[in-house]
């Protein structure tokens, strides 16, 4: 069938599904490692003598790297066509950096510096592998249908994001040692690399396959009806000269809105620092808070996705409202209010990671979407870095922090409204209302 929405005739189901499930299991194991360690970043840095400002800088820089560097590694992977090389390198960074965090409490003053570098290194690994892995997964999922293939992969990915914090919490409860909890993550890290090596032998790198004229024609037919960009120059054919800039019109407005909301959507490291130093939450319970946030993120993504299909992109106007509540609740002195804030943070993160990407696809022509996601991630990454500095610097002045975040979200709300207006005036097929 068109786009591979059915299994290849004569091929057993387990053969065509094997690579898809394999990539999903790799993501599951890697997320056990990465998401298992993320809620411990704040408590670990605090134990090593880090201040709120340092925690904000490190975790903000880590999230900025995870988003912004995709703008570098995505096009780089396309140019070299070595998708497996980037995928392997990115997963290896995570598999090495996270377990090494277990050694930092034993290194004295150097431990704090190394911990910051390793935390950022893990997220750099995310930026290195994500664009290339998506290309590999898209190719592997074609025989079973990319919609179903990506859905299966996402479900396994989310399972890892839930299992990791629960595993770390159990180890912390049993041992009381952050180092032991981080060291245990070496096991799923090794499993992820082992699965990746197994997959490498069974999944061909798309970069080694040259497209035939028939393939190109089919791709053009599949891309038919793609939404034109909202500016006249963006509608020009590629043969007319240099590809049009994405930094115009409604896409640019949407990216600017993303910068503002990303400043307010603080990295969880600052929240976990607050939970253990101010809200009197035991370190062993912090991963449970994070697991609850991941559950809220899944629900937020599902609810906003359904509403987007039914009511349009106006559903994203609720995102700045949610983010405004994060510092009010997540940084409250009581554990109960902080938990409510963590859940709202998780829901906002889920919307950012799902429905926001759906809107980008409606704003940008299909042949420019890969670049658009990279550019958009750079705006989000810059916002995450600015947010880390903001939260770290104003952590001791909660009222001022809340006011600044609220002001930034008002700006995000206004720019989103302008994006909607621009899309309507340009007659883009974006379901705004």
Instruction: Tell me the C-alpha to C-alpha distance, in Å, between residue 220 and each of 2, 126, 215, 373.
Output: 12, 31, 9, 21
**What percent of the chain lies above the pLDDT cut of 70?**
80
Residue 108, burial from CB neighbour count under 10 angstroms (0-12, 13-18, 19+) = exposed
Cα(132)–Cα(88) distance, rounded to whole angstroms?
Answer: 10
For residues 127 and 65, the answer to whether their CB atoms sit within 8 Å is yes
- In the structure encoding, which two tokens stand for residue 166, read together? 């629960």
Average confidence (pLDDT) over 131-157: 72
- In the structure encoding, which two tokens stand for residue 119, read together? 């935390």
Q: Which of 5-19, 49-63, 227-241 has the highest mean pLDDT?
A: 49-63
Q: Which of 105-109, 308-312, 365-369 has the highest mean pLDDT?
A: 105-109
| DSSP collapsed to 3 states, 367-425 | HHHHHHHHHHHHHHHHHHHHHHHHHHHHCCCHHHHHHHHHHHHHHHHHHHHHHHHHHHH
Cα angle 222, 223, 228 (rounded to 5 degrees) comes to 160
Cα(335)–Cα(274) distance, rounded to whole angstroms?
Answer: 10
For residues 91 and 30, the answer to whether their CB atoms sit within 8 Å is yes
Matching residue, tokens 């910068």: 259
User: Using 50, 70 and 90 to split pLDDT, how confident is the model at 426?
Assistant: low
**Dihedral through CA 138, CA 246, CA 63, CA 338, nearest 10?**
-100
The domains of the chain, with CATH numbers, are 9-205 (1.20.1250.20), 236-433 (1.20.1250.20)
- pLDDT surpassing 60 at residue 400: yes
pLDDT in tens, 39-96: 999 999 999 999 988 998 998 899 889 888 988 888 888 788 888 999 999 999 999 9
- In the structure encoding, which two tokens stand for residue 269, read together? 């490291």
Terminal Cα distance for the chain, rounded: 33
User: Using 50, 70 and 90 to split pLDDT, how confident is the model at 15?
Assistant: low
Average confidence (pLDDT) over 340-345: 95
DSSP character for 428? -
DSSP character for 353? T
Predicted confidence at residue 185, as pLDDT, reads: 97
- In the structure encoding, which two tokens stand for residue 27, read together? 């993501």
Among 126, 138, 257, smallest CA distance to 192 is for 126
For residues 426 and 231, the answer to whether their CB atoms sit within 8 Å is yes
Cα(92)–Cα(194) distance, rounded to whole angstroms?
Answer: 11
Range name among 62-76, 173-187, 354-368, 407-421 with the lowest pLDDT average = 354-368
Report the number of secondary-structure helices (H) and strands (E) in the chain. 18, 0
For residues 258 and 356, the answer to whether their CB atoms sit within 8 Å is yes
- In the structure encoding, which two tokens stand for residue 189, read together? 């890290």
Range name among 80-94, 117-131, 301-315, 403-417 with the lowest pLDDT average = 301-315
For residues 272 and 172, the answer to whether their CB atoms sit within 8 Å is no
Mean pLDDT, the chain, rounded, equals 81
Average confidence (pLDDT) over 105-113: 93
- pLDDT surpassing 90 at residue 191: yes
Instruction: Tell me the C-alpha to C-alpha distance, in Å, between residue 144 and each of 16, 137, 257, 413.
Output: 7, 11, 36, 40
Predicted confidence at residue 139, as pLDDT, reads: 76
- In the structure encoding, which two tokens stand for residue 273, read together? 């620092």
For residues 149 and 141, the answer to whether their CB atoms sit within 8 Å is yes
Matching residue, tokens 């101010």: 278
- In the structure encoding, which two tokens stand for residue 268, read together? 């969880």
Among 171, 77, 192, smallest CA distance to 129 is for 77
Predicted confidence at residue 368, as pLDDT, reads: 67
- pLDDT surpassing 70 at residue 190: yes
Average confidence (pLDDT) over 319-332: 95
- pLDDT surpassing 60 at residue 313: yes
Instruction: Tell me the C-alpha to C-alpha distance, in Å, between residue 356 and each of 80, 155, 281, 304.
Output: 29, 19, 32, 9
* Alpha carbons within 13 A on the beta-carbon side of 271: 30
- pLDDT surpassing 90 at residue 144: no
Long-range contact pairs involving 370-374 (C-beta distance under 8 Å, separation at least 24): 370/74, 370/78, 370/131, 371/74, 371/75, 371/246, 372/246, 372/251, 373/70, 373/74, 374/70, 374/71, 374/74, 374/75, 374/131
Among 275, 381, 270, 265, smallest CA distance to 325 is for 265
User: Using 50, 70 and 90 to split pLDDT, how confident is the model at 126?
Assistant: very high
């Amino acid at each position: 069938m068109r786009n591979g929405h059915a299994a290849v005739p004569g091929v057993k189901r387990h053969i065509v599904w094997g690579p898809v499930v394999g990539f999903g299991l790799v993501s599951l194991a890697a997320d056990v490692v990465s998401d298992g360690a993320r809620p411990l970043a704040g408590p670990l840095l605090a134990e090593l003598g880090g201040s709120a400002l340092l925690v904000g800088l490190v975790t903000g820089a880590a999230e900025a790297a995870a988003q912004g560097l995709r703008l570098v590694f995505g096009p780089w992977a396309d140019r070299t066509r070595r998708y497996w090389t980037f995928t392997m390198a990115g997963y290896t960074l995570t598999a090495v950096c996270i377990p090494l965090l277990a050694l930092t409490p034993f290194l004295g003053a150097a431990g704090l510096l190394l911990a910051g570098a390793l935390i950022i290194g893990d997220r750099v690994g995310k930026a290195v592998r994500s664009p290339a892995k998506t290309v590999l997964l898209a190719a592997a999922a074609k025989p079973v249908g990319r919609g179903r293939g990506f859905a299966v992969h996402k479900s396994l990915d989310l399972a890892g994001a839930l299992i990791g914090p629960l595993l770390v919490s159990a180890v912390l409860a049993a041992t009381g040692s952050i180092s032991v909890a981080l060291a245990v993550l070496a096991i799923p890290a090794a499993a992820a690399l082992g699965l990746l090596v197994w997959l490498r032998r069974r999944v061909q790198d798309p970069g080694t396959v040259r497209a035939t004229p028939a393939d190109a024609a089919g791709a053009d037919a599949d891309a038919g009806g793609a939404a034109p960009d909202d500016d006249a120059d963006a509608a020009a054919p590629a043969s007319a000269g240099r590809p049009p800039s994405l930094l115009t019109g409604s896409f640019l407005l949407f990216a600017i809105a993303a910068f503002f909301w990303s400043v307010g959507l603080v990295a969880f490291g600052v929240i976990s620092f607050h939970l253990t130093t101010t809200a009197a939450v035991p370190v062993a319970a912090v991963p449970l808070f994070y697991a609850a946030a991941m559950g809220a993120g899944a629900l937020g993504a599902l609810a906003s996705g359904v509403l987007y299909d039914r009511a349009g992109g106006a559903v994203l106007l609720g995102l700045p409202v949610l983010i405004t509540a994060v510092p009010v609740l997540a940084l409250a002195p009581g554990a109960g209010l902080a938990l409510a804030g963590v859940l709202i943070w998780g829901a906002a993160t889920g919307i950012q990671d799902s429905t926001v990407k759906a809107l980008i696809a409606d704003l940008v022509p299909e042949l420019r979407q890969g670049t658009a996601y990279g550019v958009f991630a750079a705006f989000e990454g810059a916002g995450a870095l600015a947010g880390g500095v903001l939260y770290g610097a104003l952590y001791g002045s909660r009222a001022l922090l809340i006011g600044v975040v609220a002001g930034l979200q008002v700006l995000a709300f206004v720019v989103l409204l302008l994006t909607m207006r621009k899309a309507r005036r340009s007659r883009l097929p974006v379901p705004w209302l």
